[in-house]
């Protein structure tokens, strides 16, 4: 599979994503500069974490107007799979490819720690390989990860089963103290209605090798790769 990993000025998880896709999974992954108007040959797009454009104005606000984001809009409209991690999630919300917004953590503090995630639904290209009852231990590192959406949007997210992950405690309960940033209903990640675009604040690429202490993040990439393989098999048939 070919992965396009976007690179904005200020991205800092791009190489981690490329490394995991290439060296852990053995797929082809390329960094695509934000000024490129084309994604080249890509089966899926990854928008990595970081601080694109120094988080000026709002996180992700400037990045969404980069030439490459026009290509991502088109790619997503054509049904292509797009995953945004951390700043990538913020960019996707700013671009309107995902509903809602990410605002300053309730604590006003930058939170950098491992959290537990509960996968709400395995019915998505980003969660299909995650065992239903498995809690994922994945790190977060953000100052603006508090997910917000108005009531109507939240109701729609629930009705369409678009909430993919919630922050939970070690027992799998979405408690107040397990919520690291004040996100509505402990939401850690969502997908769009069509289920081909997803974003999450935690960093699966930082938890995809046992040597890093935790490899649960691999399940998210495995899901994505599985979905792409199914897609290409369906195309070939």
Partner 1 sequence: MKAKIIVTPKKAVLDPQGKTVQTALEHMGYSGIGAVHVGKYMEIELTGTDKEAARKIIDEACHKLLSNPVIEDYRFEIE
Active site residue 203: yes
Stretch that binds partner 1, among 41-49, 133-141, 146-154, 207-215 (CB under 8 A): 146-154
Active site residue 142: no
**Distance, CA of 125 to chain centre:** 12
Q: Does 152 bind partner 1 (CB under 8 A)?
A: no
Map residues 100-129 to x or -, x wherever contact with partner 1 holds by CB under 8 A.
Answer: xx-xxxxxx---------------------
Q: Does 93 bind partner 1 (CB under 8 A)?
A: yes
Q: DSSP E strands: which ranges in 48-122? A: 81-85, 101-103, 111-119
Q: Does 146 bind partner 1 (CB under 8 A)?
A: yes
HSE toward the beta carbon, residue 35, CA cutoff 13 A: 1
Stretch that binds partner 1, among 73-81, 97-105, 203-211, 217-225 (CB under 8 A): 97-105
Map residues 43-82 to x or -, x wherever contact with partner 1 holds by CB under 8 A.
Answer: --------------xx--xx--x-----------------
Active site residue 94: no
Q: Does 159 bind partner 1 (CB under 8 A)?
A: no
Q: Does 214 bind partner 1 (CB under 8 A)?
A: no
Nearer to partner 1, 57 or 212 (CB): 57
> Within 10 Å of residue 86's Cβ, how many Cβ atoms?
29
What is the C-alpha to C-alpha distance for residues 83 and 78, in angstroms, rounded to an integer?
15
What is the C-alpha to C-alpha distance for residues 46 and 208, in angstroms, rounded to an integer?
15
Rg of the chain on CA atoms, in Å: 16
Dig out the tokens for 211 from the structure.
Answer: 């040597």
Q: Could you say which of 13, 17, 34, 86 is catalytic? A: 86
Nearer to partner 1, 183 or 223 (CB): 183
What is the C-alpha to C-alpha distance for residues 216 and 204, in angstroms, rounded to an integer?
7
For partner 1, the binding residues in 27-46 under the rule CB under 8 A are none
What is the C-alpha to C-alpha distance for residues 118 and 164, in angstroms, rounded to an integer?
8
How many of the chain's residues bind partner 1 (CB under 8 A)?
A: 20
56 close to 87: Cβ distance less than 8 angstroms = no
Closest contact distance (angstroms) between CB of 103 and partner 1 is 6
**CB-count exposure of residue 152 (10 Å: 0-12, 13-18, 19+):** exposed
Unique residue bearing structure tokens 């950098």: 112
| Interaction site with partner 1 (CB under 8 A) | 57-58, 61-62, 65, 93-94, 100-101, 103-108, 146, 148-150, 182
Indicate which residues carry an active-site annotation.
86, 203, 205
């Amino acid at each position: 599979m070919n992965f396009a990993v976007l690179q904005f000025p200020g991205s800092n998880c791009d190489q981690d994503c490329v490394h995991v896709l290439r060296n852990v999974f053995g797929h082809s992954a390329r960094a695509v500069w934000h000024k490129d108007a084309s994604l080249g040959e890509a089966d899926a797009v990854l928008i990595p974490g970081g601080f694109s454009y120094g988080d000026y104005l709002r996180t992700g606000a400037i990045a969404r107007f980069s030439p490459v984001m026009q290509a991502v809009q088109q790619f997503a409209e054509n049904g292509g799979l797009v995953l945004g991690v951390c700043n990538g999630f913020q960019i996707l919300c700013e671009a309107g490819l995902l509903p809602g917004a990410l605002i300053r953590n309730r604590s006003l503090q930058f939170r950098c720690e491992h959290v537990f995630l509960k996968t709400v639904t395995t019915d998505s290209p980003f969660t299909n390989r995650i065992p239903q009852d498995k809690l994922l231990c994945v790190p977060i590192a953000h100052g603006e990860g508090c997910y917000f959406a108005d009531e109507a949007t939240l109701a729609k997210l629930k009705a369409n089963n678009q909430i993919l992950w919630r922050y939970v405690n070690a027992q799998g309960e979405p408690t107040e103290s397990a919520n690291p940033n004040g996100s509505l209903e402990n939401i850690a990640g969502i997908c769009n209605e069509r289920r081909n675009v997803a974003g999450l604040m935690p960093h699966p690429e930082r938890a995809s090798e046992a040597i890093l202490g935790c490899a649960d993040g691999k399940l998210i990439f495995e899901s994505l790769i599985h979905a792409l393989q199914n897609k290409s098999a369906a195309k070939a048939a």
